[in-house]
Amino acid sequence: MERIVELASAYREAKVLLAAASYRLFDHLEEPRSAAELAPRLKADPWALELLLNALVALGFLEKSGGRYRNSPEASRYLVSSGEEYLGHWLRHADRGFKKWAKLEEAIFKREPEEESRLEFLLALDSMARRRAEELAEAVNLSGRRSLVDLGGGSGAYAIALARRYRLDATIVELPDTADATREILRRRGARDIRVLEADFLRDDFGRGYDAALVSNIVHFLSEAKNRLLFRRVYDALAEEGVVIVHDYILDDSRTSPKEAAVFALHMLLSSEGGRTYSWSEVEAWLREAGFKSFQRIELSESRVVVGRKEKT
Ligand SMILES: C[S@@+](CC[C@H](N)C(=O)[O-])C[C@H]1O[C@@H](n2cnc3c(N)ncnc32)[C@H](O)[C@@H]1O
């Protein structure tokens, strides 16, 4: 199973290298430069370029120090165009091949690809969520809590695991266009006791007095401003001494590791408006601003968690 997931995601890492090589990024990093300094030289968006640079550090092609990036010894040797062992011509050729390979199926199958329905999207997320839900439920202690709200709960895999382990009264908040798909998966998993509330967690009332709130794989598709808003709303929705559980690909404060989180930031550049992956400190800063007082960091095998507590007033 690990092999299948790894192989199916390998194109992302390949494309990080190919994109950088195609735009001769390494030629400009024999000297250390920040993303802001490098962006005009490459005619790049500084914000997006920084995500690429962090991913290149995660893959070992760059080194980062004090906010500046420079070539690793391997990149200096093979990826700078003045070098004798320069591989860039071949990499640019490979990048042109990548664009052709992205259409491989069109050369083989004589029908249109299937559109992704909301149900299929949630089932795709569910394949990962079910692998991680038991581990999350074991890692966070919700003993003695009675209610849980799961914001953007998707397939419900996490709400099911937490509700079953801690006997919680659980509510999933989902957008109206997705809520039916959530209900269908809950039905298939025999979890009809979990409520689905159709609401937008950034605009609508989603209830009050919850003992725990789960924010799983949400922060990465929201901008910083929307995350701030979300956590203010979560704080208001929690009872005194309630906890928020933020579960996601969370970066180290360098923003260059773990590798999966640094590369996933680029996936969100392509799939969201202003989203990316965030660091431990960034998540904790939003929670602190919202009013949460104490924090716990938890490492899971494939993801990370920050738990924030609301104190008694
Ligand atoms: C990346 S999925 C995460 C699903 C689940 N929490 C998990 O960890 O697998 C994001 C989910 O949030 C929902 N969502 C996105 N924006 C939302 C909003 N403003 N209000 C409520 N749900 C939202 C989407 O429909 C989707 O099911």
* Domain CATH for 13: 1.10.10.10
Q: Is the Cα dihedral 49, 54, 58, 64 positive or negative?
A: positive
156 lines ligand 1 (CB under 6 A): no
175 lines ligand 1 (CB under 6 A): yes
Residue 239 located in a structural domain: yes
Range of the domain at 9: 2-108
* Identity of the residue numbered 154: G
249 lines ligand 1 (CB under 6 A): no
pLDDT at residue number 312: 82
User: Looking at the structure, do residues 88 and 148 belong to the same domain, yes or no?
Assistant: no
User: Looking at the structure, do residues 15 and 155 belong to the same domain, yes or no?
Assistant: no
**Number of domains present in the structure of the chain:** 2
CATH number of the domain that residue 292 is part of: 3.40.50.150
Residue in the block written with tokens 């509330």? 197
139 lines ligand 1 (CB under 6 A): no
What string of pLDDT tens digits covers the 313 residues of the chain? 889 989 999 999 999 999 999 999 999 999 999 999 999 999 999 999 999 999 999 999 999 999 999 999 999 999 999 999 999 999 999 999 999 999 999 999 999 888 899 999 999 999 999 989 999 999 999 999 999 999 999 999 999 999 999 999 999 999 999 999 999 999 999 998 999 999 999 999 999 999 999 999 999 999 999 999 999 999 999 999 999 999 999 999 999 999 999 999 999 999 999 999 999 999 999 999 999 999 999 999 999 999 999 988 7
Residue 291 located in a structural domain: yes
216 lines ligand 1 (CB under 6 A): yes
pLDDT at residue number 180: 97
CA of 281 to the centre of ligand 1 (A): 23
User: Looking at the structure, do residues 62 and 148 belong to the same domain, yes or no?
Assistant: no
Residue 113 located in a structural domain: no
Residue 41 located in a structural domain: yes
User: Looking at the structure, do residues 97 and 191 belong to the same domain, yes or no?
Assistant: no
pLDDT at residue number 187: 97
* Domain boundary, last residue among 67, 82, 108: 108
pLDDT at residue number 112: 87
Q: Whose CA is nearest to atom 11 of ligand 1?
A: 152
182 lines ligand 1 (CB under 6 A): no
Q: Whose CA is nearest to atom 1 of ligand 1?
A: 217
